[in-house]
Amino acid sequence: MPIKSNDLRKGDFVLMRDGASAQIDDNGRGNIRAAIVWGERGSIYVWDVESPRIDLTKAQLKARALARAAGF
């Protein structure tokens, strides 16, 4: 069952599309979330989360297309 990106909360564990696991490190909203990946704190895009499945909004789909076009 897909969830919205704003439903991810601090402490939630997610699986990234590249196979890495991450722990959400903020209670923020939006496309970019703070997370701990491989023991280091950094930023992740919500569309790179594999599990739990994220239901992206139209604005997030557009942002993902722009980010991919820019090489991210």
Q: Check: CB of residue 5 under 8 Å from CB of residue 56.
A: yes
Structure token digits, residue 42? 């950094």
Residue range 29-52, pLDDT digits in tens: 999 999 999 999 999 999 999 999
Overall pTM surpassing 0.85 (yes/no) = yes
* pLDDT for res 1: 83
pLDDT range class, residue 69, cuts 50, 70, 90: very high
What's the rounded Cα separation, in Å, for the pair 10 and 64? Answer: 23
Structure token digits, residue 31? 């496309």
Break the chain into its structural domains and give their ranges. 5-69
Among residues 42, 23, 30, the alpha carbon closest in space to that of 6 is found at 30
Decide yes or no: CATH 1.20.1630 for domain 5-69: no
* pLDDT for res 58: 95
Q: Check: CB of residue 48 under 8 Å from CB of residue 16.
A: yes
What's the rounded Cα separation, in Å, for the pair 28 and 46? Answer: 12
